[in-house]
Structure 1
Amino acid sequence: MASDADSTATIASLRESLCSEVTPLPVRFRALFSLKHLARHETGDNALAAIDAIAAAFTSPSALLKHELAYCLGQSANMAAVPYLQKVLADLQEDPMCRHEAAEALGALGDSGNLDILREFRDREGEDVVIKETCEIAIDRIDWENSAQRKAEKLRQSDFASVDPAPPMPNSDSEQTVDDLEKTLMDVNQPLFLRYRAMFALRDLASPPDLPTAVPAVLALAKGFADPSALFRHEIAFVFGQLSHPASIPALTSALSNLEEASMVRHEAAEALGSLGEEEGVEETLKQFLHDHEKVVRDSIIVALDMADYEQSNQAEYALIPEAPKVAA
């Protein structure tokens, strides 16, 4: 295993890469994913140093990078991330995409101590609808995390290690079909948290990609791009990025190509296509948007093309350091 001194030096080096405005964006993203791994798997001072290193980059002008910082802090399972996330959420001058991600990250951490600030911005007069909806889901997630209901539920083992905005629907005696889940997914009269649960249940039915339910589940999820909520549509694109299923390419291409679509949706569609970079035509599609009118989309295309390049290479890991902790011999 790496010594404390080695870890300290690694974190310092990654922090320098992440926080440098002259470092290419794809390199900064790779440094960030490495720091996310360390924040989650290191202990004590090294974990805190990794969290501080991630948070130090909130000074960047890149909304894309800052929203990814917030996401990574939410995945850290470390309450030391809370003050940084609360500060981003409370900053009314910050990009709504970053504030939304900070609220979602507070929900992912699952601590009921964050309920007050989430309620404050859910109920704030004049607040951006994306922030209100995110806070609503985060509150429901924290309530679920700390409920007796959670202990009683049997959840299908997911292929994905992410802490999601909502858990998938629980397994029940009468297994829900793709059609059942699609109905819940698309029912705008249901709470967003419940619809998200259907979304993540459909995701899990689409992995691995050779499951008989995979293509039907992807096609059901794609219908979510017609939802009136930009937040909901962006989460569909995020899920497609996790799945990297070729059946999602037409829907993702359509979302990216729609110049009237919200930038938070288009950026997520671009990154999802990046994860499918080895599929025919995807790289060419991405390159068409290198000079998009939205900066967050342009930045996402740069990162997505780097991901596509990785998908076509023999590199062992996308991040700068291995994603799995080394085991001592």
Structure 2
Amino acid sequence: MAVDDAVKPLRDVLTNENASLAARFRALFSLKHLASQQPAASETIPAIEAIAAAFTSPSALLKHELAYCLGQSGNDAAIPYLRAVIEDRQEDAMCRHEAAEALGALNDAGSLPLLKERWQDEDEEEVVRETFEQLKQSDFASIDPAPPLASQANAKPSIPDLQQTLLDTSFPLFQRYRAMFALRDLASPPDLPTAKPAILALAEGFKDPSALFRHEIAFVFGQLSHPASIPSLVECLSDTKEASMVRHEAAEALGSLGEEEGVEDVLKKFLNDPEQVVRESIVVALDMADFERSGGMEYATIPSQEVAA
């Protein structure tokens, strides 16, 4: 099948402002699948171009997710589009933060001057300035802003010690991220004896003064999909004084727990939230919750081998 036949229908949905947000997100993650194929296939570059084409959307939530998917593609063809987002000071800070993190995920040394400039710019948005971290491949399906703290002498770091590092604002953000991802690793798989204590330790991170840090805690909870995280996620989503970028991440994390009793009812309470990015996140989260209950394997309309070939 021709490349256009594989990518074009997905691009048409993703860039269609009249399509439902749920449909656009599913198309996006299908394009992400095509964009991140290793080795690169004939659909790879067209898929990256299709994702980037949606940066004209007025939805900050969608554009934030576009940047994330480009960073996860592992393909340098995404770099110019991500740099353009960072350089656009009229763009939403949530999107620009994600674009900066995506460049780190791509290990793009050529973007270091741009990132350093934004880091040192006192007029820059705080969440963008904080996004000057080095990323590495982890055991999860994403690329993290920092590697987990390594164990020493064959002894795993204790949860109380990791929690202390996680919450200590005197430590560099990079080191605290390492503690965060070490706690995440202790919470997966969910039947580990360390899982629930690690989740509870991570939940304390919602008290941090940095919105970016709180946002990352919610993202990690979305990766883990552990029921023990539900109370703290609900509390975060319910706090109307919380930053919208944090509440959006909490909503999507709850969407990944959609099969758990009561989660869908909680999400529906925020369908008319005053914050647009939260309202849109609820729509996506409810679609994710419906998907989780269906027992599907992948949240995307990934083409079959016959269609993609």
TM range (shorter): over 0.9
Query: Which residue identity is paired with 2:12?
Result: E
Q: Which runs of 4+ in 1 moved over 2 A?
A: 314-317
- Report the secondary structure of 1:286's partner residue: helix
Does structure 1 conserve the Cα–Cα contact (< 8 Å) formed by 2:237 and 2:248? yes
Q: Which residue of 2 aligns with 1:235?
A: 216
Distance 1:73 1:170 in 2: 28
Cα 1:46–1:56, aligned 2, differ >3 Å: closer, same or farther? same
Is 1:40–2:36 an aligned residue pair? yes
For residue 292 of structure 1, the aligned residue among 252, 269, 273 is: 273
TM alignment of 1:183-222, pairs within 5 A: 183-222=164-203
In structure 2, the residue matched to 1:168 is 148
CA shift for structure 1 position 315: 3.2
Counterpart CA distance in 2 for 1:251 and 1:230 is: 15
CA distance in structure 2 between the aligned counterparts of 1:220 and 1:315, rounded to whole angstroms: 30
CA distance in 2, matches of 1:78, 1:70: 13
CA distance in 1, matches of 2:19, 2:275: 21
Instruction: Name the CA distance, whole Å, in 2 between partners of 1:45 and 1:54.
Output: 15
22, 26, 32: which is aligned to 1:30?
26
1:179 aligns with 2:176: no
* CA drift at 1:171: 3.1
Counterpart of 1:152? none
Q: Distance in 2 between matches of 1:269 and 1:121?
A: 27
Report the Cα offset of residue 169 of structure 1: 1.4
CA distance in 1, matches of 2:36, 2:151: 28
Indicate the residue corresponding to 1:150 in structure 2.
none
* Aligned mates of 1:265, 1:190 — CA distance in 2: 22
Residue-by-residue CA offset, 1:138-197 (whole Å, 9 max, x unaligned): xxx16xx6xxxxxxxxx9x72x12111112112321321111111111110111111111
Of 80, 87, 108, the residue aligned with 1:83 is 80
| Pairing 1:92–2:73 present | no
Tell me which amino acid in the other structure corresponds to 1:116: P
CA–CA distance in structure 2, aligned partners of residues 163 and 108 of structure 1: 6
Matched, 1:302 2:298: no
| Partner residue in 1 for 2:242 | 261
1:21 aligned onto 2:17: yes
Distance 1:203 1:131 in 2: 24
CA change 1:102–1:274 in 2 (3 A) is same
Is the CA contact 2:6–2:43 (under 8 Å) kept in the aligned structure 1?
Answer: no
* TM-score, normalised with respect to structure 2: 0.95
CA deviation after TM superposition for structure 1 residue 125, in Å: 2.5
Residue aligning to 1:59: 56
* Corresponding residue SS for 2:190: coil
Q: Does 1:118 align with 2:115?
A: yes
Tell me the amino acid that sits aligned with residue 119 of structure 1: K
Q: Distance in 1 between matches of 2:178 and 2:151?
A: 12
> 1:126 offset after TM fit, Å?
1.2
Distance across 1 between alignment mates of 2:70 and 2:34: 11
**Aligned residue number for residue 148 of structure 1:** none
Higher mean C-alpha deviation, range 307-316 or range 186-195: 307-316
**1:273-309 per-position Cα deviation (integer Å, ceiling 9, x unaligned):** 0001111111111000000000000000000000001
Q: What is the CA distance between 1:44 and its match in structure 2?
A: 5.0
Q: Within 1, Cα distance between the matches of 2:34 and 2:178?
A: 29
**In 1, Cα distance between equivalents of 2:79 and 2:12:** 22
Residues 1:228 and 1:92: Cα distance change in structure 2 (over 3 Å):
same
Unaligned runs of 5+ in 1: 146-154
Corresponding residue of 2:258: 277
Does structure 1 conserve the Cα–Cα contact (< 8 Å) formed by 2:32 and 2:69? Answer: yes
Bigger shift: residues 238-247 or 308-317: 308-317
- Deviation, 1:316, is 3.8
Which sections of structure 2, spanning at least 5 residues, go unmatched?
none
Equivalence for 2:300: 319
Q: For each residue in 1:234-271, what CA deviation from the matched residue of structure 2 results, as whole angstroms up to 9, or x when unmatched?
A: 00000000000000000000000000000000000000
SS in 2 for 1:37: helix
